[in-house]
Structures are given as structure tokens and as C-alpha cells.
Structure 1
Amino acid sequence: MHKIKDVMSRDVQVISPDATIAEAARRMREGDFGMMPVGENDRLVGAISDRDIVVRGLAEGRDGTAKVRDVMSDGIRWAYDDETVERAALIMAQYQIRRLPVINHDKRLVGILALGDVAVKERKVKPAAEALCGISEPVPA
């Protein structure tokens, strides 16, 4: 069974909560990803997704100058780098997320695990399939 650190991407970008949502959107476009961890004072304080920008930003009448902190999701989900990919897939399915920040035991952000990493690099199809099914299910009201 693979460990998360064996399949995660170490090229992870963090954005400040004081950055604008326009900057977040630009960086997501340039990096071709839909979520960024939000960091302040060397701590993860949340995450911002392309969906957050649209639903909590633009749909509520904010423009590109709105701050990341105004639209980001609090309570970021993460996993330790030495946990199994299967464990990460379960977290991704449970919380319906496609990109999972990865930290070491010193609580430092060391990477990010995308659903595609699970699907492509994990030999077993089951963890990726379970995560995708969990992510695709509607959230109970």
C-alpha cells in the first residue's frame, strides 16, 4: 500500500488570506488547479476553491478585489504524509474534496494530493473509485 508522500505533489502553492480573489483565480488558472490552501503566519487557516470564488464571491456581488479570507472555506481537511493513500481517499470521499493538503508531523505543509494522483498512481482502483463516488454524491441536507 502506498503512502501519501509517495504519490503527492510537492509543488504546492499557498495563498495569503489578504490576497484578492482575482489573484487566487489567476494563480489557479496558471497552475491548472481548482483549490489552494490559505496560509497565514506559517499556519494553514483554510482553503479557497474556484467554487468558493464563484459561489461566495461573484454570486454574492463581490468583485475581484474581495479578499480570499471573505470567501475561503474554514476548517481545512488534511492528511499526514505517512498515512496511506487509501486513508486519504476516504477523507476525500467523506468531505467531498478533490485536493487534499498534506502535512508532516511538524505540522508543515509538504504537499498536496489530488484525486488524479490517487487514481493514476495507486495500483488498486478501489481507493480512487471510492473517493470519486463519495465526492460525486450529493451532500445530505
Structure 2
Amino acid sequence: MTTAKDIMHPGAHWIPAHETLDRAAQMMRDHTVGALPVSAGGEKDRMVGIITDRDIVTKCVASGHDPSTVTAGELCDGTPRWIESSADVDAVLETMQSRRIRRLPVIEDKKLVGMISEADLALHLSDEQVAGWAEKVYSRA
């Protein structure tokens, strides 16, 4: 059985909710990622959301806000989603499809151990699985 841990990109990094969006953008650049889970108060704290490079551009910069004054916590909305590292691929796909999300943090022993993105799905799953996922996540219905 293929698990979330088998297909995730290991070594995901948190950003504390109090950090500014310019710092988040720097972290994304430095780690070559497009998303960061946001923690309530530090590296090992609970996840309060996730921010993406697109969020920074569309919800901050394009709205005329200064990314050096807006915090990661201010940008988070909704209930954060994650999956246990031992979950099978069907559970990963169901979680991402039902919530229409493109990135999914992976947790093991209450610690962030990785992230699953579209690229990880494309690398590890069949063309049929990826196509089914994309149809459900990207459809307008």
C-alpha cells in the first residue's frame, strides 16, 4: 500500500503566524516551495492555516497592502487540512478532492514531516489517478 509518506516531499517548513508576508516570500524562495503551513506560535505548534505564493500576490499585493506589514496569520482563512503520514493514497486524493486543495501538509506523531503537492502526485501516481484528481479539484462545478 502506498502511503502519504511515500509520495510527499519531505522537510516542509512552518512559518509562525506573526511573521510578515515578505518573510514568507523569502522562505518560499529559499526553500523553493510555493506554500507554507502557518503555525500559531512557533515551529512545533498547531497549524492554523497554509499560505501560498498566490495568496501573497492576490490577497496582499494586488489589494494594495504592504507585505512587510501583513502577517501570515492575517492571510489564513478557513480550517487547515492535513493528513497522517500513514494514510493511503486514496485517502490523500479524497481529502484533496473533497476540499479542492492543491497542497496537503503531512503529519506524523503530531509533527509536520512533509507536504504533498500536484508535482508529487504527478511523480508517484498513475496518469488516470492524476487526471481524476485534477478533474475534481479544477472543475468549476
Counterpart secondary structure, 1:89: helix
Unmatched segments (≥5 aa) in structure 2 = none
Partner of 1:98: 102
- Whole-angstrom CA distance in 1 between matches of 2:139 and 2:77: 20
Partner of 2:135: 133
TM-score by length of 2: 0.86
- Whole-angstrom CA distance in 2 between matches of 1:73 and 1:36: 14
- Whole-angstrom CA distance in 2 between matches of 1:30 and 1:134: 31
Describe how 1:62-81 pairs up with structure 2 within 5 A: 62-65=65-68, 66-81=70-85
Counterpart residue type for residue 136 of structure 2: G
Q: Percent identity?
A: 33
Larger mean CA deviation between 44-53 and 89-98 belongs to 89-98
TM-score by length of 1: 0.86
Partner of 2:13: 13
What's the RMSD between the two structures over aligned residues?
Answer: 1.7
Counterpart residue type for residue 49 of structure 1: T
- Whole-angstrom CA distance in 2 between matches of 1:36 and 1:7: 18
In the alignment, is the contact (CA less than 8 A) between 1:2 and 1:85 conserved in 2?
yes
In the alignment, is the contact (CA less than 8 A) between 2:48 and 2:76 conserved in 1?
no
1:88, CA displacement in angstroms? 0.8
Aligned residue pair count: 137
Q: Which of 55, 59, 78 is 1:56 aligned to? A: 59
Counterpart residue type for residue 103 of structure 2: R
In the alignment, is the contact (CA less than 8 A) between 2:21 and 2:56 conserved in 1?
yes
Unmatched segments (≥5 aa) in structure 1 = none
